[in-house]
Amino acid sequence: MSEIKFERLDANRLLLPQTGGMRVPGIIYANDKISALLEGDESAKQVANVAHLPGIVNYSLAMPDVHWGYGFPIGGVAAFDLDEGIVSPGGVGYDINCGCRLIATKLSLGDIKSRISDLTTALYQHIPSGVGSTGSVKLSGKDQKKVLEEGSGWAIKNGFGLPEDLETTEDGGAMIGADPEKVSARAIERGKQQLGTLGSGNHFLEIEVVQEIFDEAAAAAFGLHKGQIVIMIHSGSRGLGYQICDDYLALMVKHAQETGIALPDRQLACAYLSSQRGKDYLAAMACGANYAWANRQLLMQQTREVFEKTLRMAPRELGMRLVYDVCHNIAKIESFTLQGKTKKLCVHRKGATRAFPAGHESVPLRYRSVGQPVLIPGDMGTGSYVLAGQEKAMTETFGSACHGAGRVMSRTQATKAAHGRSIARELSDKGILVMASSKGTLSEEMPEAYKNLNDVVQVMHEAGIARKVAKLKSLACIKG
């Protein structure tokens, strides 16, 4: 844990005491198993660095999937006062609104067991994936602007899905305040041909089966039951989001001296939320978020079509329905109760997801009695978890939970560890079919490169941030 010293608060939390220029303490959600993995990892230092930023409220936080990132750690959460605080592109990440979408079906494992190979091949052939992949939808300048403003709504209006898909998408699939005029021509150009593409790296599309139910009431509300076939999609804003982040980071680094903010790391380049530059970034970031929601909406529609055609089933028979769509990399203006008063804050979630509790107005009506679905994918060999947000998240983590397993190996380390092995064959031996655009991706994303998902999720469950609802087992995976 570098030179950082911690105090254990309880079984699932480590305190990073406020020292030096830190404006608040830090807290990392970690049990003994997770904390042992932090040895030698620079992410703990990044948690301390974030605590130096102006206007930060309560704590600099990290979820149990925390690992080193650009400026902010991945798995980092920080909330900032609107008057005195900042917004930092490094606190959102390059893949703006990288997120997950869980889709339920009426199918059981027995219905598709003999067709998994056919489905996987068809998905791989029809859904563009990999570095620089392009989609079948080519956007005109007018359409591109509407995508950036309307997000998933644009996709639905143009026949890519159903109106009810919006009801269970975070923010209805569109973030307010998006202004395409704040997005560079280069970013616009990169987004023209990538809508409806999966991308590369840790992005994936998985066919999964509900393996275990922990909370019957919440599972019933989410429409999940044991033995059910579901699909998990993980993708983001592609080159457009990357370029938006890159553009504004360069701008904020260039003008860093103007802010008068002493930064412990130049990767934390930021602007005051009240400044024009800060407002411009939020407007551009919202465009990236909306593009990502439209992208996942198209990916879902393509998945629907592949299942219907391959299985020769009518939409009603298939019963494909969006359980929920959450975003992982975002900064949002949200309200919280601090010292008995309601206050709006700008919450940065970088590799973290919302975990709003039962009764919260942002939770879809159909789930409001049990809390928001929290989607936590793991590595290719593990599957995923579905959790439900709890009230404690609102008082401790600004309504946030982890977003995945979290890396323990860099991509270079993973590639070296996978040398001479066939990751695809190893997964096949476990009953998991994998198709990827390159062997390199499979090496970088090998299961050992990630923390144990069960341990990560257990921390959130025991800490009372998000409770376990269901465990999903991987059957097949498409990688970029």
Give residue-wise pLDDT tens across range 406-449. Answer: 999 999 999 999 999 999 999 999 999 999 988 888 999 999 99
Q: Is the model's pLDDT at 220 over the cut of 80? A: yes
Q: Is the model's pLDDT at 381 over the cut of 90? A: no
Q: Is the model's pLDDT at 64 over the cut of 70? A: yes
Q: Is the model's pLDDT at 348 over the cut of 70? A: yes
Q: 267 pLDDT band (50/70/90 cuts)?
A: very high
Q: Is 126 a catalytic residue?
A: no
Collapse the DSSP code of 163 into the 3-class scheme (helix H, G, I; strand E, B; otherwise coil) and give the result. helix
Q: In the predicted model, what is the mean pLDDT of residues 455-470?
A: 98
Q: In the predicted model, what is the mean pLDDT of residues 3-12?
A: 90
Q: Is the model's pLDDT at 335 over the cut of 70? A: yes
Given a contact cutoff of 8 angstroms between Cβ atoms, the answer to whether 402 and 64 are in contact is yes
Q: In the predicted model, what is the mean pLDDT of residues 448-452?
A: 93
Average pLDDT, the chain: 95
Give the CATH fold of the 7-479 domain: tRNA-splicing ligase RtcB (3.90.1860)
Looking at residue 1, its pLDDT comes to 43
Q: What is the pLDDT of residues 73-113, one digit of tens each?
A: 999 999 999 999 999 999 999 999 999 999 999 999 999 99
Which residue has better confidence, 128 or 135?
A: 128
Alpha helices, DSSP H, located in 185-263: 185-191, 216-222, 238-254, 256-259
Q: 337 pLDDT band (50/70/90 cuts)?
A: very high
The residue ranges of every structural domain in the chain are 7-479
Looking at residue 438, its pLDDT comes to 82
Q: In the predicted model, what is the mean pLDDT of residues 160-185?
A: 97
What is the distance of C-alpha 442 from the center of its chain? 20
Looking at residue 227, its pLDDT comes to 98
Query: For the chain, first and last CA: distance in Å?
Result: 32
Which of the residues 360, 403, 419, 461 is marked catalytic? 403
Q: Is the model's pLDDT at 340 over the cut of 50? A: yes
Q: Is the model's pLDDT at 187 over the cut of 90? A: yes
Looking at residue 338, its pLDDT comes to 92
Q: How many helices and strands, by DSSP H and E, does the chain display?
A: 17, 19
Q: What is the pLDDT of residues 303-323, one digit of tens each?
A: 999 999 999 999 999 999 999
Looking at residue 138, its pLDDT comes to 79
**What is the pTM for the complete model shown?**
0.96
Q: Is the model's pLDDT at 40 over the cut of 80? A: no
- Minimum mean pLDDT range among 260-264, 367-371, 380-384, 412-416: 380-384
Alpha helices, DSSP H, located in 67-127: 109-112, 116-126
Cα–Cα distance between 313 and 317 in angstroms, integer? 6
Using a pLDDT cut of 90, give the percent of the chain over it: 89
Looking at residue 133, its pLDDT comes to 75
Cα angle for residues 79, 80, 83 (degrees, 5° grid): 155
The candidate with the shortest Cα–Cα distance to 138, out of 199, 196, 95, is: 196
